[in-house]
Amino acid sequence: MKLVFATHNLNKLKEIKEIVPEGIEILSLTDINCQEDIEETGTTLEENARIKVDYVKNNYGYNCFSDDSGLEIDTLNGEPGVFSARYAGAEKNNEKNIAKVWEELDNKENKSCQFRTIIAANIEGKESQFEGVVRGEIIHEKRGAGGFGYDPIFIPEGYSKTFAELDKKVKNTISHRAKAFGFFVKYLMSVD
């Protein structure tokens, strides 16, 4: 089965390719010659994921899926949430985003949060959505060289290492994206 993952984000693409079972070939937007940067104009993760899927299906006709993920910090009323990638500005700078999170959490005791992923899919004309959540907390130092985004400052519940420090196999088992993708794969196996 061939599926288009509606992303130009090479980090996300690599992460998904590492957890996809045999028999499913993942193509990127670049692989289908889609150079457009699909604008995420939604106000929720669900809306943004759906926008990308609809764009690919309507303009290219492929069976496809997309995701939108966000870091949702309890004491900040769920921020940065849908704006996680551009929390500190439109240029989507990870360092500036982390600095802004630390600034917003300054003098706040509660550092509890969650990473949440929504996968939207359109397979043979049927639309579906799948959610994955991992709870954890923010630390005020960057640790680890793996991962991307907020991974160096996020420690998942039950662990002492950040996502950026965890072995890839462990992260790809417990992450929000892995959980959502697990539900998606089960769905794919039922329609195959």
* Catalytically annotated residues: 68
Q: How many other C-beta atoms are found inside a 10 Å radius of the C-beta of residue 62? A: 16
Under DSSP, the state recorded for 80 is B
Q: Shortest CA distance to 63 belongs to which of 122, 130, 119, 129?
A: 122
Q: Which stretch of DSSP H or E encloses residue 48?
A: helix 45-60
Contact 59, 107 (CB under 8 A): no
Q: Which residues are paired to 61 by β-bridges?
A: none
